[in-house]
Amino acid sequence: MDEPHIAIIGCGAGGGTAAQFARKTNRKTQITIFEQSPYAQYSRCGLPYVISGAIPSVDHLLEFSKEWFAKEHITVNLETTVESIDLASRTITSVHHGQRAQHPFDRLILATGSRPMIPPIQGIPKEGPLPANVFCLRSIDDAVLIQHALQRSKRACIVGAGFIGLELAEALTEKGLTVTLVEALPNILASSLDNDLSEQVAATFPKSVTILLNHFVTAITPNPQGITVRIKDRASNAESNFETDVVVLATGTRPEVRLAKALGCVIGPTGGIAVDNHAQTSIPEVYAVGDCTEYKDFVTGEPVCIGLGTIAVRQGITAGINAAGGQYEMPPGVLLSRTSTFFGTQIAAVGPLLSPQYPRALVHGKIIGSSLPTYFPGGTPITMKVVAEEESGRIVAAQAMGSNASQRVNVFACAILQETTVDALQKLETTYAPPIAPILDVITLACDVVQLKRLRKKRER
């Protein structure tokens, strides 16, 4: 039997990883990647840190070069757009510098990523190039352009206070700019943290960062000194202006599904390509990974749009192994483990933000503890929040802010994956040593709060 020829559209974290794991699974199969940009696999998440200067240059972000892939006998076609895919004849039509070409394939992995979502702002076209000094931060080229613009900038307006917006706010602050963050929602990080934690995080920001919540940017107008940003208060509808030098749009992304739609892949309710636990689309032998996909939330079972590199890589592993003839399954849903650090404060979360529509009653427990025993100097505060189902006690989400928030949240990620109850986790022997962690870690204390509330509610019933 001939080995299958695997074609991968997109060389981001998902596509590149898929190629690597297809190769690990099958040494003989032919693997071809098509990538629109001039760059092979690089870290998109590292872009804000190039702008801050923490990473010396964009070149450092390249994790696996075209040459690296070539050594693994993986062909990477850069600056190559896939125009169309014919499933009947299993042929890809690509365009490279205006030259059209046909490529046969047996199995397909779509890793087409996502496009920045451009909000309706007067002065910014929905499609096509952005105006001068207005940027997104999605690619190496974007980062280079922003870096260049910063040389003549003192003020920045960032639209959107999610992870990227806040990472960028820190980066620009480190470069000496004053930053105005404009966020349409009532809080920063609204899709990652509950309001109480978001407010705690916002309170740690320096004075050089102004946060305008519940505000839309309605228009931008270039002027000889910079850009006038017009904003609107969502509550009062009052409009006002401020001046800036650069505007960066960090208003989220939408899955790039043009090719998938044309193939007839089912697109899910979130707008992403629906995939299963084999990273397969609705069409056999057509896989999809990363930001262009949607998969199930582990806790709610509801479809969620994938926008995290962690998941892209894990889907890439899954699709790569399966496309190459192996057998690999994702867990039945995603945990959405996430972390970042802003102005010296680490935050992390796992599990969904649960809306009142969640079918079962929930109990939240929050504690502000210390990273160290009270008697050991140098402890710093940690906020830990745990959410569990009231009746079953099953842990469904956790959020943390402070020292080692990310690894503490990993404990809850494991707990959620194993459908652990809060009374079981409450009794976990956490590691303890005076210079490292207290005898009852905030992991334990937050579970204690949830458990006390559960018992109280039980008595009240």
Instruction: Give whichever of 194 and 245 is closer to a copy of itself, judged by the CB atom.
Output: 194
Neighbours of 303 (CB within 10 A): 17
- CA–CA separation, 63 vs 236, rounded Å? 48
Judged by beta carbon, residue 233 or residue 423, the one nearer a copy of itself is: 423
Q: Give yes or no for residue 456 binding a copy of itself (CB under 8 A).
A: no
Q: How many residues bind a copy of itself (CB under 8 A)?
A: 66
Nearer to a copy of itself, 265 or 443 (CB): 443
Which CB sits closer to a copy of itself, 206 or 331? 331
Q: Is 45 a catalytic residue?
A: yes
Q: Which range binds a copy of itself by CB under 8 A, 79-87, 104-112, 237-245, 370-378?
A: 370-378
**Closest listed residue to residue 250, CA positions, set 113, 439, 75, 47:** 47
Least distance (Å) between residue 147 CB and a copy of itself: 17
Residue 151 near a copy of itself by CB under 8 A: no
Q: How far is the CB of 224 from a copy of itself (least distance, A)?
A: 38
What is the CB neighbour count within 10 angstroms for residue 270?
Answer: 16
Binding-site member from 32, 133, 139, 340 for a copy of itself (CB under 8 A): 340
CA distance 325 to 250: 39
> Contact with a copy of itself (CB under 8 A): which of 233, 285, 341, 362?
341
One-letter-per-residue 3-state SS of 282-331: CCCCEEECHHHEEEEECCCCCEEECCCHHHHHHHHHHHHHHHCCCCCCCC
Window 26-85: residues binding a copy of itself (CB under 8 A): 43, 45-46, 49, 54-56, 60-63
H or E element in which residue 160 lies? none
DSSP calls for 186-208: SSTTTTTS-HHHHHHHHTTS-TT
Q: 172: how many CB neighbours lie within 10 A of its CB?
A: 25
Q: Residue 66: enclosing H or E segment and its boundaries? A: helix 66-71
Stretch that binds a copy of itself, among 139-147, 201-209, 231-239, 337-345 (CB under 8 A): 337-345
Measured from the CB of residue 375, what is the shortest distance to a copy of itself in angstroms? 5
- CA dist., res. 300 & res. 332, Å (int): 11
Contact by Cβ (8 Å): 180, 242: yes
Residue closer to a copy of itself by CB (options 196, 432) is 432
Q: Which of residues 108-137 bind a copy of itself (CB under 8 A)?
A: none
Catalytic member of 45, 157, 265, 292: 45
Q: Among residues 132 and 433, whose Cβ is nearest to a copy of itself?
A: 433
Residues contacting 71, CB < 8 A, separation 6+: none
Contact (Cβ atoms closer than 8 angstroms) between residue 434 and residue 374 = no
Residues 6+ apart with CB under 8 A from 45: 309
**Among 68, 242, 343, 376, interactor with a copy of itself by CB under 8 A:** 376
Where do contacts with a copy of itself occur on this chain (CB under 8 A)? 13, 43, 45-46, 49, 54-56, 60-63, 308-311, 313-314, 330-331, 334-341, 346, 348, 350, 373-377, 404, 406-411, 413-415, 417-418, 420, 424-425, 427-437, 439-441, 443
Q: Which active-site residues does the annotation give?
A: 45
